[in-house]
Structure 1
Amino acid sequence: MPSKQTIMRINLTCLFLLVTLVQVSAASFAQNISLSKKNISLQQLFQAIKTQSGYDVIYDTQELKKAKPVTINVTNTDLRTVLDLVFASQPLTYVIDQKTIVIQPKERTFFESRVDFQFALDIKGKVVDEKNQPLAGANIKIKNGSDKAVITNENGEFTITSLDRGTILVISFLGYKTKEVTINDENTLLISLEVNSAQLEGVSVVSTGYQTLSKERATGSFNIVSREQLDKPTTNIAQRLIGTTAGMQARLDANGNPRFEIRGQTSLNNAAAASPLVVVDGFAIQGDFNTINPQDVESVTILKDAAAASIWGAKSANGVIVVVTKKSERGTPLRVDFSAFTKIANKLDLDYVNPLATSAETIDYEMKAFGNWSARINTGSLATNNGWAWSLGTMALSEHALGFITEAERDALLAKYRTQSNKDQIRNELLTNPVAQQYNLSLAGSSGRLSNNLSLMFEDTKSNFKGTGNKEYIANYRANADLFKWLELSFGGLMNYNKAKNNGVGLGDIQGLSPYEMLRNDDGSLTNIHQYYTPILDRFVPMSLFPYADWTYNPIQEIANRNYTTEQTNARLNASLKFKILKGLTFATSGQYELFNTSTQNIDNENTFQVRNAVNRAATWDQATNKITLNLPKGGTLAQSRVRTESYVIRNSVNFDRRFGEDHDISFVAATEINNLVRQAFGNPTTYGFNEATLSVGTFPNGPGGTFFPIKNWLGANQTFGISNSYSYTTDRYFSLLSNASYTFKNKYILSGSVRTDASNLITDDPSYRYSPFWSVGLGWHLSKEKFMRDISWIDRLNIRATYGYNGNVDKSTSFMPLIAMGSTSNIYTGDITATVSSFGNPTLRWEKTASLNLAVDYSFFKGQLYGRAEVYNKAGKDLIAVLSIPAINGTTSQRLNNAEMTNQGIELELGTAQRIKGNKIVWRGNLNFSFNRNKITKLFVANYAASTLVGGGTGAYVEGENASAIWRFRYAGLKDKQPMVHGADGTLYDFGAFTPGDGRSYLQNMGTTVAPYTLGFINSFQIYDFNVSAIITGQFGHVFQRTGFNYPPTWQSRVLPNNKLNEVVNGDPMKIVPLPQNLIEPRYYFWDRFHQNLDYLVVSASHIRMQEVNVSYNLPANLTSKLNIKRVQLFAQGNDLFTVVANKVGEDPEYPIGGLKPQPRLSLGLKCEF
């Protein structure tokens, strides 16, 4: 990694270059003008000046109406001299900024001001909508003038006094287009505002990634995330999308980061392939949302149906998320933005993530189970006992049973364990408060024909576990240059560096401890967390003779003596040349290159149990002579791996967008595209005897041996240590042709269509499959613009849309040719390389297809106070890849083939409102979205389902006629002869030690779906003067999950760790819930795992409502920030994952079941500054 000094020099250099580009002196572009004209307008003069000098001229059309015609005759005269001559007798003047001339009114003299004061006007007016209805609460203020402003009363009327002629009034009202009116001699005004449908929904255009469309001219199902939502603080932009879009369901990980599913599951073979495609600035990216700086995002558009998404062809069946990053516009001065925030959360709730019984309950359980529900320890042979890491309580019971300790000693140990709890030590020694700190600096501006954006982000994150954290750096640069009138260049570059430290323990390390097993002794020294049955080692094994006499383990010691790092370096470059051929017609050639390098390096020094245990176990022990032979060198270990991914896209496109007359709008795009991706993975063998300080390594006493190093270990058994390299290579290639067109007539009737074909090396070379097209058609009707609707005053906007088409999906888990998996090592007995048939091949492998029908209504009522949409869709997946039954004559009874079908049918409703409670000072905005999805597998041939397959879930558990996310469970039948039973086929009962034969569908019960068919998102925002308070509530309903039940642990080769559901079975009805074993001796108790965790009574409602977020921000008054030369300062506080209301009676969060990591409530504090 580069040094801090190097990074600082790079950052300062980038900053200097950007500021230099933006602040280029206009003097360096000085030009001379030659011109001879009579009585021309200023507009004509400006055009002539622009042609000769290249300078742009910015002016207010209303101000130019006050100017006189110009007569001029100059030859090779300096530009400033020409402008001085022109404006000498005009009421206007000019300012030159870079390569731009800005026209503005002259300041009035004292005498002129006094005259105008004598003749100032008092203006009365009324503000109405398009249907002449009054608008109460409209805001009227003076443009470029004083702070004088008024608000219309309940009749839409206002009065404003002492205005000069020529004053411009700016009239605005939420949901309507802002209007400007110039004061002349009239003192009574009637001002009509036009509804701004785009403003109601936050944005006026949508982006498909290939083109930008007016939302009024789009037939597809697009959802745009509001600017207000995107501006909130976050470490991952994906978190800003939760709850914003009907039909887009988020499944969250332990850090609250979502994986999205749009309009149901569309693939049966690969859950990862069911994620939406992510597009950034027109190109699909290989990285996920983590490679995007949230502060760079300008807009996010969700493409849900065929008309919106089919332009992306074989990657669009799961929807598309289009991200557009910020860029500067021409003529904008340098703008500097800075933001910073700190996010902190509670430590993990140990009672939730590690739900063990109390220490006393655990000891009681161990005493009851010992020797009854599994075999006692056998002392006849060391080899049969050394691997049993029994808990301390069970070892005390065993040592007494074997006669090595007295009853009093046993009881004293058990009494001590009963009173001990390791929770405080775990919290203090292994856990920490998760903290994330993020800093952002962005600079944007333009100079002449060049506009620039540079953003820098640094984020420092510490996880729930001590010794684990992450540092991330992102630098992003975008530039746009008008090289000529007919040629535009765009360029973007992103660099992302991420370094993660993974030295801390994992949740599994904590869950493997008995509740009374302490990390430190009373004197502060480290305890030994037994990894073997230690008393037997002490009796049989001469530990002092082994390479490491200390064979103890403690997680605190492991954290301090290992160095696990993962480094990721990601780069993304894109560029585009756009040629303006004719009015509305452009040709562009563009491309993107991405590089991802991930390297992992894990170092354990010889103070770790990892190293000491490996070296000791590998040693050969001659028990007759007590001689120890070293087979692995002493010292640390080094394990390394790396993954390199390169991809590029080359695209040529033609874009046409033009209006003909007043009634005809045509938009068209056609493109060709080549995609190539290469992924290589390298794994190095573990290096033994590694010294990090000297970078030296040890040698094997008997040489490297071969691909594997077979030895006789300390117990005389064969043991191997892999020293071979691993390597994998993957390439994906695509060639695509695509087009999209739309026609709008009279701004009321819309016809759209798209077609795309994708060829790939992933698909069979049969042209009938390889070039199978994806297409869509769409219709739109702006019903509210019809004459017969104009008299319905409460309807502002009413649109109807209908689309149909095909999307595609790519599944890389199979091949059209048979696949053989070659072993990476030789067989230790024969020395030969082995291979297995991993896939028999799918000779007609083709794209998965989804036919999508979408019907929608968009509306706005009551002057924008109520708006939204309603959509109905039907998605029919065809040629889906799934595991199907085939005749055994083929050499196997199942194979992945394109022969399954599945449907998703649903309804989506969105309702928004904007209520001005007190003009622009107090405003409430609300948005409610609701969706329903019904999923069903309609075609899938599987001859027979084993019960274990169905209860295990996954790709083998899909059943025709059922939901793809169905959960199957055994039906508990109570006790019979003291044995717990389950129902089998035809009323047969099976006990927990038996095997259940036959097709599992005949006796297992479908308990419902684990994916919510009903979802809800509710976003509220209150603007109260300079404060803004917002909240996001999400809900999921109608699905189920398996709650945590008792784990029935046997005393068998491991610690006995009963969970906190022990009392539930001890005190429960044994005919309704499986009790503890009723027989004193239950030798098959360890078989109970197959049944007790897959019973029907454990499946409960997963419906819940979550308080996802509360955000409070405050904008400091402008009169205060201006004194600090700061344009805007915002302070904010944000809370996430604050609480959840669940429908199940056990209080378990269905998204984060007990025993797994769960996001803790988080608080963020920060500020934003604009300079």
Structure 2
Amino acid sequence: MIRLKLLITGMLWLILITAGAQTKRISGKVLDAQNAPLPGASVLLKGSTTGTVTDAEGTFTINAPANAVLVVSYTGYLAKEVPVGQSTTLNITLAESPQLLSDVVVVGYGTQRKRDLTGSIASISQTEVKNLPIARADQILQGRISGVQVTQTNAEPGGNISIRIRGTNSINSGNEPLFVIDGFPGAGDLNSINPSDIESIEVLKDASATAIYGSRGANGVVIVTTKKGSSKQSSINFEAYHGVQSVSKLYDMMNAREFATYLNDVQGLINQETPASAKALPYTPEQVAALGEGTNWQKEVLRTAPISNYQLNFLGGNSDTRYNLSFNYFNQQGIVINSGFQRGSIRFNLDKKISDKINVGFTSQLTRSGENRALVNTAGSTEMGGIILDAMRFNPALPVRDQAGTYTYLNGPAGYLELVGNPVAYANKVKNQYNNLRGLLNFFADYEIVKGLKLRSTAGTDFNYASLEYYVPSDIYAGSNSKGTATRSSGNRYSWVNENTLTYDREFNKSHALTLLGGLTFQEFYNTEFAASNSNFFTNLLESDNIGIGANVLPPSSSRSKNSLMSYFGRANYRFLDKYLFTFTMRADGSSRFGPNNKWGYFPSGAFAWRVIDEPFMKSVPVVSDLKLRASYGITGNQEIASYSSFARYTNNAYTLGGGTRVIGLSPNNIPNPGISWESTASLDFGVDLSVLSNRITFTADYYYKRTRDLLLNVSIPVSTGYSTVLLNAGGVQNKGIELSVNSVNVNSGRFKWTTAANLSANRNKVLDLNGEYERFVGTSSGSLFPSASNGATSVLRVGEPIGSFYGYVFEGIWQTPDEISASKRTGVRPGDPRYADLNGDGVLDAKDRTIIGRAQPKFIYGLTNNFTLGNFNLNVFLQGVQGSDILNLNRYYLETGGYINGNKLKSQTQRWTGPGTSNTIAKANSTLRRGTGITSDVVEDGSFLRVKTVSLSYTLPKLGSISNVLKSANVYVTAQNLFTFTKYSGYDPEVNSFGASNLSLNTDFNAYPNVRTFTAGIRLGL
């Protein structure tokens, strides 16, 4: 009986064990957060060596017991453990790992494992911004990488972008980074690059990373890599989006009745003060009473405009060949009437494996773009103006067209207002068409001489043909004096480059690894320009198509220039025990731009990184997943000056001799300087890379210090030499700051995922030396704006202060009574005039009372991205901000200034001073004091802002039965860009600089094209 019980018990245990050990066939699919398949993902039975990998569709099958746990992993994604349970079919979604994403990053002349980097390099992939309706590739960087400030200096379609990496290094030379597109250095900006073609963008920030580019690396380097083909599967991808744009904010201007009342007040005060020259008021009381809102000229020149984009992409190949062929058409109509930008591009990239030792290929692009520009300067105005500013100051009592349907010709009433033409007529009838054809082609060949030793040779060309067609017709005010003006101009920019590198990569005894790089490059740049103009046309029908019919032929102009660069460079990367990392770089540049005494410059750098995580003592700190400390020091250069600056140059002069004969002669226009050299920037960087909680949170911090010396400055010299300045290497600038970035996987459970990426940067800029000078007055503005303010200077360069320091008088309110003026002992002012601080207390307001009244450079910049995934839905919210930056609002200077009656004013003028106690902010109607004073602190505003830059919601459609055999993926999305902006700035938008990338007129808002709010809807299909 006992034996029977034991036998039965044993059989039951055997049945249970057998049942537990029984395996079943599990099938499934591994996907990313957007439900795209992940081919090649590893699926492993936990605690065993049994496993498989996913196929091209991301699917897998594996035999596993019911109590098994699958460990699923994929490069760039967080590993995930999935219990099998009772399931036979599994869909597994992996979240991107902030630490492992872009495991291999592109560096100068090669690639490196991210874990082996010793320098400060940031990377961003195109998939992170694929739902954005962006026109330019450089907009991808905005707010997403620490230490990089991207500013839309001109919001006009096709307008410029300014990029500053770790501050402003130069005063007179360029501050934009070097762009490298598919290995082609010095490829200009990114305006002609289709953003959808980009695979990744790397930003090289410290000297360890940028010294390999020598005399062009001081401002940082942006490396753009476009998409290549796939050796695993072929695919066809189509994407399209369409949307609308509108201005998010308008200036609040006076309406017709308010402006008529204002004009009458101004003239009435003038009549009281100068009765001998009194004249009638512009409007009678009956006319004022009959007026209402009138014409809102801002709304007449602005519109809701469409934006659209279409992309078709063919990718494929096999183990020997990869290709990528893409077509793109982008069309962005401007919110200013009759402005817009169109771009069509073709890209073909090919890689071919000839043999086990030889690989060849090329990247190529051809882009045609056209831009109808809304002009900044309005010809015919007595002062600098433009469509935007003229729309604000044009009399709202006047209609756009008269009863006959003809455009209102001129601002009025005549004799009381500045002569300004109808801005709507100007926008619609002036032709300002800019066309551009650009091609970029780069061939490469790789040859493995012996194992570990590779030769790479590239040859490429970048050509750009630009043309301008400009015509101002004679039937609008701007063209009335000239009876029509036409201009045709063209410019060709061409460059070629040949680069040859040897790379040796080898490991020794598993403890040492050495990578050596040596290279030789040649590059030349050519530029030619031609322009011809004419005026006095008897017909407007031909516009600029036949400028020969104009009666007033103007002298044509043409130019040609060339510069070249020859370079030697080398880099050594050494790893000891895979945790002690060393990098040494040297580049020698010889440039034709500099004098014969300084043709060659040498740019070394060194860096060390310690992978602390790989030390034995870190095993006792399991919460830390990765820890690396970095330090680097090096010297880079800036050679961005005009060609032939070191040589004696001549300019042509025209003379009329006796008898009316016109002759042309040449005369010197500079003092040559054979000693001119590049600006040199010494850079020190300390950094830490930290990951915790199995890489769920990653943190990167950098501190840097940069000192630029040998600034290229135009130094004043005695006029007895025949010249006023000479170009010298003199002066210095300092930048120092911190950069912080954090990436986290907040939730990764079930169908819900939430990740966050944040960055913050603070840079402090300081002028160290101005060739012995203490300060210089600078700034770009019209002399007619500030006739007595140091030749229109709006800023000061001062030792110890940052570049971009606004300089003027401190506004203290409004003079209220004669007794108040008497007590102050001030002269030349009246009640109702603005009151400015007498800083030196001498009772006289003069240039000695000016001071720094604002600073353009921000205290810090930041960005925050949150990405939420729930099932097939994905929500991306991106915030961008700037803090502590001031803006010079020259629009307000015009639109709030009383006395000088140039046109309509801001509605705030309805609260102007009319007697003691009525206002302490807005001067009386006929006050002229500000006009001759120059800029004052009340028009320098806080430009800080927090912007909800992008909100994008997408939905990935599930598989649709038999359609899945053709349609592999489908995704629809809606996106809002520039949705909300929280700011105290009173202008259209705080992200502005009317003078582009100018170093001396930062953050100046004058007649700027307004930024836009955009709503788009799009679809992506994969076949």
Which TM-score tier does this pair reach, normalised by the shorter chain?
Answer: 0.7 to 0.9
Match of 2:504 in 1: 656
Measured after TM superposition, the shift of residue 891 of structure 1 is: 4.8
Counterparts of 1:239 and 1:1034, CA distance in 2: 12
Q: CA deviation at 1:1017?
A: 1.1
Aligned with residue 326 of structure 1, among 227, 235, 244: 227
CA distance in 1, matches of 2:238, 2:505: 37
Q: Whose helix fraction is larger, Structure 1's or Structure 2's?
A: 1
In the alignment, is the contact (CA less than 8 A) between 1:452 and 1:477 conserved in 2? yes
Q: Does the 8 Å contact 1:651/1:674 carry over to 2?
A: yes
Name the larger-Rg structure: 1
How far is 1:870 from its partner? Answer: 1.1
1:208 is matched by which residue type in structure 2?
Answer: V
Kindly tell me: are residues 557 and 1019 of structure 1, through their superposed partners in 2, closer, same or farther at Cα, counting changes over 3 Å? closer
The answer on whether the counterparts of 2:391 and 2:423 sit within 8 Å (CA) in structure 1 is no
Post-superposition shift, 1:906? Answer: 0.7
Q: Does the 8 A contact of 2:807 with 2:852 survive in 1?
A: yes
Choose the corresponding residue for 1:1157, options 1004, 1009, 1019: 1009
1:144–1:179 CA distance, 2 compared to 1 (3 A): farther
Corresponding residue for residue 245 of structure 2: 345
Counterpart in the other structure of 2:433: 565
Return the alpha-carbon distance in structure 1 between the equivalents of residues 275 and 439 of structure 2: 59
Aligned length in residues: 920
> What amino acid maps onto 1:507 in structure 2?
I
The one-letter code matched in structure 2 to 1:274 is N
| SS of 1:839 mapped into structure 2 | coil
Partner secondary structure for residue 1012 of structure 2: coil
Question: Could you tell me how far 1:1164 is from its partner in structure 2?
Answer: 1.4
Deviations 1:493-524 (A, max 9, x none): 21101123358993244234112221134x57
Equivalent residue for 1:361? 258
Deviation (angstroms), 1:1071: 12
Give the corresponding residue for 1:666. Answer: 514
Cα RMSD (Å) of the superposition? 4.3
Counterparts of residues 792-871 of structure 1 (less than 5 Å): 792-813=621-642, 815-823=645-653, 831-833=662-664, 838-871=669-702
Do the aligned partners of 1:884 and 1:942 also contact (CA within 8 Å) in 2? no
Q: Which residue does the alignment assign to 1:453?
A: 324
Query: CA–CA distance in 2 between the matches of 1:145 and 1:830?
Result: 80
Contact 2:774 2:798 in 1 (8 A): no
Gaps of at least 5 residues in structure 2 are: 1-17, 27-44, 87-93, 376-385, 779-785, 816-820, 823-828, 993-1004
Separation in structure 2 between the aligned mates of residue 677 and residue 145 of structure 1, nearest angstrom: 45
User: Distance between the aligned counterparts of 1:145 and 1:832, measured in 2?
Assistant: 75
Matched, 1:1103 2:957: no
Report the Cα offset of residue 984 of structure 1.
5.3
| Structure 1 residue 160 displacement after superposition | 4.9
Residues 118, 793 of structure 1: alpha-carbon distance in 2 compared, 3 angstrom cutoff: closer
- Provide the residue aligned with 1:224 in structure 2: 123
- The amino acid across from 1:1169 in the alignment is L
Matched, 1:590 2:442: no
Deviation at 1:1167, TM superposition (A): 0.8
Given the superposition, is the C-alpha separation of residues 378 and 1168 from structure 1 closer, same or farther in structure 2, using an over 3 Å criterion? farther
Name the CA shift for 1:570/1:1163 in 2 (closer, same or farther; >3 Å).
same
Give me the whole-angstrom Cα distance separating, in 2, the residues matched to 1:809 and 1:1104. Answer: 32
CA distance in 2, matches of 1:496, 1:374: 62
Separation in structure 2 between the aligned mates of residue 807 and residue 367 of structure 1, nearest angstrom? 62
Q: Is 1:782–2:605 an aligned residue pair?
A: no
Aligned mate of 1:1088, from 912, 930, 941: 930
Asked if 2 retains the 8 angstrom alpha-carbon contact of 1:503 and 1:563, the reply is no
Match of 2:38 in 1: none
Q: Work out whether residues 526 and 561 of structure 2, in 8 Å CA contact, stay in contact via their aligned partners in 1.
A: yes
Structure possessing the higher relative contact order (Cα contacts under 8 Å, 6 or more residues apart): 2
- Please give the residue correspondences for 1:869-1018 in structure 2 after superposition, counting only pairs within 5 Å: 869-886=700-717, 890-891=721-722, 894-919=725-750, 921-940=751-770, 941-942=772-773, 957-972=796-811, 975=815, 976=821, 978-979=829-830, 980=833, 982-983=836-837, 986-990=840-844, 996-997=846-847, 1000=848, 1003-1018=849-864
Change in 2 beyond 3 A, CA 1:313/1:503: closer
Farther off after superposition, 1131-1140 or 1100-1109: 1100-1109
Q: Does 1:1060 align with 2:904?
A: no
Identify if the C-alpha distance between structure 1 residues 482 and 371 changes in structure 2 by more than 3 Å, giving closer, same or farther. same
Task: State how far apart, in whole Å, the 1-side matches of 2:622 and 2:545 are.
Answer: 84
Equivalences for residues 160-171 of structure 1 within 5 A: 160-161=65-66, 171=72
Match of 2:352 in 1: 481
Offset at residue 821 of structure 1 (A):
3.1
Q: 1:684 aligns with which of 532, 535, 538?
A: 532
User: Conserved in 1, the CA contact under 8 Å of 2:218 and 2:636?
Assistant: yes
Per the alignment, in what secondary structure is the counterpart of residue 909 of structure 1? Answer: strand
Task: Note if 1:744 corresponds to 2:575.
Answer: yes
Equivalent residue for 2:153?
Answer: 253
**Residues 1046 and 1059 of structure 1 are in contact (CA less than 8 Å); yes or no, is this contact kept in structure 2?**
no
Give the whole-Å Cα distance in 2 for the aligned partners of 1:986 and 1:912: 52
**Deviation for aligned residue 1:1087:** 6.0
- 1:265 aligned to which of 149, 154, 168: 168
Which position in structure 1 is the counterpart of 2:398?
A: 517
CA distance in 2, matches of 1:146, 1:1138: 37
Structural mapping, 1:11-26, within 5 Å: none
Q: Quickly say closer, same or farther: Cα 1:646–1:825, change in 2 above 3 A.
A: farther
Contact 1:475/1:494 (<8 A) preserved: yes
Match of 2:127, SS state, is helix
| Residue 494 (1) aligns with residue 368 (2) | no
CA shift in 2, pair 1:601/1:1089, >3 Å? same
| CA–CA distance in structure 2, aligned partners of residues 501 and 1147 of structure 1 | 24
TM-superposed CA distance for 1:764, in Å, is 0.9
Shift of 1:454: 0.6
Change (3 A) 1:197 1:664: farther
> Structure 2 residue aligned with 1:1024, among 855, 867, 870?
870
Q: Any conservation in 1 of the 2:192–2:369 contact (CA below 8 Å)?
A: no
1:413 aligns with 2:287: yes
Contact 2:139/2:150, CA 8 A, preserved across alignment: no
Secondary structure of 2:254 counterpart:
coil
Task: Find the counterpart in structure 2 of residue 507 from structure 1.
Answer: 388
8 Å contact kept, 2:530–2:558: yes
Corresponding residue for residue 1020 of structure 2: 1168
Distance 2:915 2:202 in 1: 52
Matched, 1:529 2:409: yes
- Separation in 2 of the partners of 1:379 and 1:1154? 37
Report deviation, 1:201: 5.0
SS at match of 1:907: strand
Give the superposition deviation at 1:798: 0.5
- Cα distance between partner residues in 2 of 1:683 and 1:148: 62
5 Å matches for 1:74-153? 120-121=22-23, 143=54
Q: Determine the C-alpha separation between the residues in 2 that align with 1:1121 and 1:506.
A: 56
2:686 is paired with a residue whose SS is strand
The 2-side partners of 1:696 and 1:172 are apart by 63
Deviation at 1:476, TM superposition (A): 0.6
Q: What is the alpha-carbon distance in structure 2 between the residues aligned to residue 790 and residue 602 of structure 1?
A: 70
Q: Which residue of 2 aligns with 1:717?
A: none
**1:290 aligns to what SS in structure 2?**
coil
Paired residues of 1:426 and 1:519 also in contact (CA < 8 A): no
Q: Tell me: CA distance 1:645–1:954, structure 2 relative to 1, closer, same or farther (3 Å).
A: farther
Q: Which amino acid is the alignment partner of residue 776 of structure 1?
A: S
Cα pair 2:22 2:65 within 8 Å, conserved: no
The answer to whether the Cα contact below 8 Å between 2:298 and 2:388 also exists between their aligned partners in 1 is no
2:972 to 1128, 1131, 1141: 1131
User: In the TM superposition, what whole-angstrom CA distance separates every residue of 1:40-70 from its partner, at most 9, and x where no partner exists?
Assistant: xxxxxxxxxxxxxxxxxxxxxxxxxxxxxxx
Is contact 2:394-2:422 (8 Å) kept? no
Q: In the alignment, which residue of structure 2 is the partner of 1:214?
A: 113
Match of 1:771 among 600, 605, 627: 600
Residue identity matched to 2:165: I
CA distance in 1, matches of 2:359, 2:311: 29
Summarize the Cα distance change of 1:772–1:285 in structure 2 as closer, same or farther, 3 Å threshold: closer
AA partner of residue 972 (structure 2): L
* TM-score for the superposition, normalised by structure 2: 0.81
